[in-house]
Amino acid sequence: MFTADWLTALKRKWPFADRGQGLVEYALILVLVAIVVILVVGLLGDEIKGVFCNVVAELGDNPPDIAACQPAPPEAPPEEEEEEEERSEVICMGVSNGQTVSGSIVFEAVINDVQGLGTNYVDIFVDGLRDPFNPAGGRREWVYHYCLRGPDSGCTGFDTHALSNGSHTIRAVAYWGDGTTAECSVTFNVDN
């Protein structure tokens, strides 16, 4: 181990051995002072900037023509985006608006129940009628597929010969489990 005699012998051989320790202590003190200055400026930066700008203004440059002393532009309030609530909907499929048809057509009311409301039933109207006994009338569908004609397993054709030539409308109204409704409609032309 190192003893005092050994250190004394080292100092005699090398007289500058103590001077390095002073430089290391000096460097550590400089680092500590730098850290304290950075913390103070970080915490009190805006206040220091205000004092600086006031001093410059008092010296005669009123208002100070220094970018840091210019007032910040007012912050615009954040734009509130109205988020549209995604709603359950009914989509008319099979016949397009304005389409001219003849013979047999297929119409289905496709349910997009994004809210999970559950579909009680769908009423399908042809020209405002929901009469299952009238060949030109609509119907009430309780089970998916919600079709103008056909079994629950799929849609079959609706004979447009039961309609007069000209413009007609099919409207589907879905009745959701919470008592609300959604609907779609399509207007088409019959030319038989």
Q: Strand runs (DSSP E) across 17-112, as ranges?
A: 89-93, 100-101, 104-105, 108-112
CA proximity to 90, closest of 148, 169, 146: 146
Tens digit of pLDDT for each residue in 37-88? 888 888 887 787 778 777 777 776 555 566 666 666 777 777 777 777 778 8
Tens digit of pLDDT for each residue in 20-39? 566 778 888 999 999 998 88
CB 135 within 8 A of CB 159: yes
Residue 41 has which token pair? 């400026």
CATH number of the domain bearing residue 128: 2.60.40.10
- 3 located within any domain: no
The number of domains in the chain is 2
